[in-house]
């Protein structure tokens, strides 16, 4: 579904991505971890061609997107939904209107149909009573859920998550994790998640890829990731007090 083939990207004098190759299969929850500046968000931006590689190719559903024209690129981007780190809700709009925005901007649906679809997504994410509220009236966790409702309102095949648990308390963070898992189970969505939160990565990921200094140092299922013999991976695990036993040992990705 998503394929990077020897992708290199230099920003200034630094190779942010240095010959990166990997694939994300349909229905996966693929998690990208690493220290700040490792190239995680740059990787996401290449998937929707907000950035172009200096060399190498990015393919979506077997189609190389490097040189697509505007119309073809728009068609590829319609396969994606994005949950931004800040949720990126418009403060002067209600939650319902925020979620409805993509439908109003990109479809010719009647308002009644739009509102029905919006309310279905709000119910799915436990926000049935929040539609008339404004972002400033709801918690950070609810804002993230509203952002996720907007990300899936166009029924995308793939959702990109940029630090979905950033700034949230541990209990709310785990609720967001559960929602990401639910999106895969209920809607069959393929997810790519960028995060610093290894507890989250291990709980939700079907695979975890770690970037370090622009290169892949590990790409494995959670149970194998925590047993990696790579020193950089082990140091990263130890920094978050990760042991080889936990929810990720028992978690079912079926």
Model confidence pLDDT, tens digit, residues 73-120: 889 998 998 887 666 788 899 999 999 998 998 888 888 999 999 998
Model confidence pLDDT, tens digit, residues 127-160: 888 889 998 998 888 888 888 889 889 989 999 9
Whole-model pTM: value is 0.85
Model confidence pLDDT, tens digit, residues 33-43: 988 878 888 99
Averaged over 53-61, what is the pLDDT? 94
Q: Write a three-state SS string for the chain.
A: CEEEEEEEEEECCEEEEEEEEEEECCCCEEEEECCCCCCHHHHHHHHCCCCCCCEEEEEECCEECCCCCHHHHHHHHCCEEEECCCCCCCCCCCHHHHHHHHHHHHCCCCHHHHHHHHHHHHHHCCCCCCCCCCHHHCCHHHHHHHHHHHHHCCCCCEEEEECCCCCCCHHHHHHHHHHHHHHHHHHCCEEEEECCCHHHHHHHCCEEEEEECCEEEEEECHHHHCCCCCHHHHHHHHHCCCCCCCHHHHCCCC
Question: What band does 249 get if pLDDT is binned at 50, 70 and 90?
Answer: low
* pLDDT higher than threshold 90 for residue 220: yes
Q: In terms of domains, do 165 and 243 share one?
A: yes
Q: In terms of domains, do 75 and 99 share one?
A: no
**Residue 253 falls inside a structural domain:** no
Q: In terms of domains, do 162 and 224 share one?
A: yes
Q: In terms of domains, do 105 and 201 share one?
A: no
Q: What is the CATH number of the domain that holds 237?
A: 3.40.50.300
- Specify the pLDDT at position 254: 46
Q: In terms of domains, do 170 and 73 share one?
A: yes
Q: Give percent of the chain above pLDDT 70.
A: 93
Q: In terms of domains, do 60 and 179 share one?
A: yes
**Host domain of residue 203:** 2-79+158-247
Number of domains in the chain: 2
């Amino acid at each position: 579904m998503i394929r990077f083939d020897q992708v290199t990207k230099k920003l200034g004098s630094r190779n942010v991505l240095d010959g990166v190759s990997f694939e994300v299969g349909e229905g996966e929850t693929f998690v990208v971890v690493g220290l700040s500046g490792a190239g995680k968000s740059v990787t996401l931006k290449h998937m929707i061609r907000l950035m172009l590689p200096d060399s190498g190719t990015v393919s979506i559903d077997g189609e190389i997107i490097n040189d697509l024209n505007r119309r073809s690129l728009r068609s590829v981007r319609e396969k994606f939904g994005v949950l931004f780190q800040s949720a990126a809700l418009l403060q002067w709009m209600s939650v319902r209107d925020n979620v409805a925005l993509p439908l109003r901007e990109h479809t010719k649906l009647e308002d009644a149909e739009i509102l029905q679809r919006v309310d279905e997504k709000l119910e799915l994410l436990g926000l049935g009573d929040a539609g008339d509220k404004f972002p400033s009236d709801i918690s950070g966790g609810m804002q993230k859920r509203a952002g996720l409702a907007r990300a899936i309102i166009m029924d995308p095949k793939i959702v990109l998550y940029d630090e979905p648990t950033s700034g949230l308390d541990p209990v709310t963070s785990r609720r967001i994790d559960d929602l990401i898992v639910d999106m895969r189970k209920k809607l069959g969505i393929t997810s790519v998640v960028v995060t610093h939160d290894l507890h989250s990565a291990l709980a939700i990921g079907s695979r975890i890829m770690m970037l370090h200094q622009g290169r892949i140092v590990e790409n494995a299922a959670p149970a194998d990731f925590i047993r990696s013999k790579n020193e950089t991976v082990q140091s990263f695990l130890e920094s978050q007090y990760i042991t080889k036993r936990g929810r990720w040992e028992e978690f079912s990705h079926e």
